[in-house]
Amino acid sequence: MNRLARLVVASSFLALVACGGTTSTVDGTDVPGSDPGASSGGTGTGSEEPGTSPGTSPGARVTLALRGSTTPVPHSDAFSSQTPASQNVAVKSLWLLKTADDPNPLKVADLGTNAIETDLVSGKTNDIATVSLKSLPAGTYTIAKVGVAWVRYRIAARLHDGVAVDGRYDNVEALSDNVVFDGKPRAKGWFRSEFGVGDTTYGTYESNDAPLPQLASSGGMTLETKGADSFYVFPMHVTIDPNETKDQRLVCEVNVHESFRWQDQPQADYASKVFDTTTTAYEPVMSFGASAFSLFLELK
């Protein structure tokens, strides 16, 4: 087991301000954001939130938050699947668009190299960024674009290398340029995959040309990979009201129940409902990301 199957699949998991048919009203401030590029909706608008002068009130704020869930949801395909033991996503920016071809998307937040990572399996709520509501222009937005720095996850698998060994893969992939992971700069496409059993790792594979999922869409979201950054794009409906007086949290709940989905292959030594790999190949990963998602506001 001195070699490792080249297994890394870019996850399509996240949406920071998603919708799933929900409608919300937000009051907020515009914070610096990274440009999603012309192919992703234009150059954008927005300015960094100014500091509060002594003796003045910053006004109401909205906190962007991400929350994972593993509550069972129905799946319409016949693929084999599993819920990852862990599934993390690092968010670096958020843009809101009024239409798909909006030439001036609203730049809500840009964290640069300080991306915030959230474990979607834990169910914990993780605050990504807080902005002042008064700096966000009033309007209704129907599309969100979330800039993603990297993804990492752990899945159960069976490695065939003379003998069949049940273990797990720990994978991480950089989806954008100028990513700092574990204190080291990484370029878009870098990935690392490790196969292990229990607490012991038997092999590591690392390269700079990570493959993407065979299905670009998952759970209602699309992964855009053009340009230096990658974005998860999804429909939603949010109305921004700069006159809101109470602090709020805008929560995107991402369901990852059985989100890792693959197609079983009819090989004699392969088993149904088991993710089988060798040292050179793996069963086709059809999708990996959100099984469902929703957006809602709550008082902070």
Tens digit of each residue's pLDDT (9 = 90 or more) over 165-216: 999 999 999 999 999 999 999 999 999 999 999 999 999 999 998 866 555 5
- 268 contacts 255 by C-beta, under 8 angstroms: no
C-alpha distances in Å from residue 111, one per residue of 33, 53, 104, 233: 7, 23, 20, 18
Confidence of residue 27 (pLDDT cuts 50, 70, 90): very low
Tens digit of each residue's pLDDT (9 = 90 or more) over 126-168: 999 999 988 889 999 999 898 999 999 999 999 999 999 999 9
Question: Could you tell me which residues come within 8 angstroms of residue 200 by beta carbon, excluding any fewer than 6 positions away?
Answer: none
pTM of this prediction?
0.78
The larger pLDDT score, comparing residue 50 to residue 86, is at 86
Tens digit of each residue's pLDDT (9 = 90 or more) over 78-94: 999 999 999 999 999 98
The larger pLDDT score, comparing residue 33 to residue 196, is at 196
| pLDDT at residue 292, rounded to an integer | 79
Give the tokens for residue 47.
């300015």
Answer whether residue 252 shows pLDDT above 90: no
| pLDDT at residue 299, rounded to an integer | 80
The larger pLDDT score, comparing residue 300 to residue 277, is at 277
Share of the chain above pLDDT 90, in %: 53
- 209 contacts 225 by C-beta, under 8 angstroms: no
| pLDDT at residue 57, rounded to an integer | 54
